[in-house]
Chain A
């Protein structure tokens, strides 16, 4: 059987790397790698081999939190990178990255509730109310919930692009709450080295948006 003939133009100019279906698969697998590594560590720990350090529960809680914040920054970097590099197809990955942020946030909360609080819900609720930094972290997670829930195409259509975009601006509150959560956690040791790295990255990501917005206003569009 003959293979279907492609249009000459497409054959001459292969599809850009970022537009290939495999690119999405690659990003998906990359996003899943930290989770797979931590899951492996947790399983080994239960079986009696320790690869997560002396306090594996703490390692799991902290690492899942770290990855939530990292993925949040990566998600927020998509739009600036897309505009600065003039690569519109980068936008294809934004939804998946956002959903992975929410996924890691949920795993982080599950690790805290299970490994630290033993899934005693009364204790968890009391702990969330008592400890401001946990309240802030929980608020950030709850704020991500409507964003994740309205991420599929039909929800975008149902809300209308303007309302959908307004709703999804909540991500800026999420990132600030997430940073405050991390800052407050680290204030125990007055150890802000890592926090300030995230603060600088987040300031750049949000600062770029302010500048971009001001410029587009001046241009009158």
Chain B
């Protein structure tokens, strides 16, 4: 009978393999039980298990406490990308267009004081102080796949809460059909805001039902700590089923509007970047295929690139948002 077959060491994800330290630890514990000094050891064992609920801290920035998310799709079992790659290989054009520019230049970003203005078609417009936003809802750790439109991907343990928590607090009116994210454009601290690479400030947007999807995250940290500057401190959006550029960094304004916002990349090249920009292996970028991706730090240089999944593998959670839509036209 097939379900009785022993699959032995056939693990679909490396992360499901019990780490050596864990099984050796268990063996040590059994030995201790035999010698009768297990009391103290059991206490530390229990503490270790509690700690294992979230990803180990990177040890670089201030810690940011959270609990592992329980929402559907909230925590992939895939191995998180190394912190050094997630913080050293970034697109954040305000700090330069090369991948290592943000890590080099973003130290000038001042994340305190920081406010986020909620404007437009809402019953409770308000300028939130960042400290207030941090306490608005319980912090969750969400381990998401991140697929860049350029054809590479990562797995990032973010910390934040669903954007829907904030949206419910500010109560959008019937006219709020879209949400617009406006990000910081400060020529004093962001050396490339003077460049003509894009129109500043960087603007992104979502349909209101997309923004209300629980996967849409307002993120304040990653790897157990506050957000590094180069990743969009102090607060950014994370939309794991869309290409990475949809997730605006260092947000200063969230506007609720009736008309579809004119987003930066659509303004820059509407034939190449659409408003939706859902991850879709079947719709190629005009200049390259989107069928495959390279997982940073995981796939060796000679490894075949891995297939990209529809909606970046979050179809079960988000596909219903686009029912009946032609995704080739609405790319």
Contact = CB atoms under 8 A, between A and B. Distances in A.
A55 B89 contact: yes
Contacts of A53: 88-89, 99-100
Contacts, number: 55
A54 B88 CA distance: 7
Given A42-B301, A60-B301, A190 B197 contact: yes
B287 A133 contact: yes
Interface stretch (B9-17, B23-31, B183-191, B292-300): B292-300
B287 A189 contact: no
A211 interface: no
Contacts of B177: none
Contacts of B97: 189, 191
A58 B268 CA distance: 24
B156 to A, nearest CB: 13
A53 B296 CA distance: 10
B294 A55 contact: yes
A190 B196 contact: yes
Interface in B299-319: 300-302, 304-305
A54 B99 contact: yes
B45 interface: no
A57 B89 contact: no
For B85, B93, B301, B302, the residue with the greatest tally of chain A CB atoms inside 10 Å of its CB is B301
B276 interface: no
B198 A190 contact: yes
Nearest to A188: B287
B238 to A, nearest CB: 19
B288 interface: yes
Chain A interface residue bracket vs B? 20 to 34
A46 B300 contact: yes
B297 A54 contact: yes
A184 B272 CA distance: 13
A131 B288 contact: yes
A131 to B, nearest CB: 5
A60 B288 CA distance: 18
What DSSP secondary structure best describes chain B's contact surface?
A: loop
B301 A131 contact: no
Nearest to B97: A191
Interface string B84-95: 110011000100
Contacts of A188: 150, 272, 287
A54 B89 contact: yes
Given A189-B97, A190-B196, A57 B301 contact: yes
B309 to A, nearest CB: 19
A131 B288 CA distance: 7
B198 A118 contact: no
B99 to A, nearest CB: 7
A188 B294 CA distance: 19
Contacts of A57: 294, 301
Interface in A54-74: 54-58, 60
Interface string B248-273: 00000000000000000000110010
Interface of B: 84-85, 88-89, 93, 97, 99-100, 150, 152, 196-198, 268-269, 272, 284, 287-289, 294, 296-297, 300-302, 304-305
Interface of A: 42, 45-46, 53-58, 60, 114-116, 118, 127, 130-133, 184, 188-191
Given A115-B302, A190-B198, 11 more contacts: A45-B300, A46-B302, A53-B100, A54-B296, A58-B152, A118-B304, A184-B287, A188-B287, A190-B197, A190-B268, A191-B197
Smallest CB-CB A-B distances: 7 pairs: A54-B89, A54-B85, A191-B97, A118-B304, A57-B301, A190-B197, A189-B97
29 contacts: A46-B300, A46-B301, A53-B99, A54-B88, A54-B89, A54-B296, A54-B297, A55-B89, A55-B99, A55-B294, A56-B301, A57-B294, A57-B301, A58-B152, A60-B301, A115-B301, A115-B302, A118-B304, A118-B305, A127-B289, A130-B284, A130-B289, A131-B288, A132-B287, A133-B287, A188-B272, A189-B93, A189-B97, A189-B197
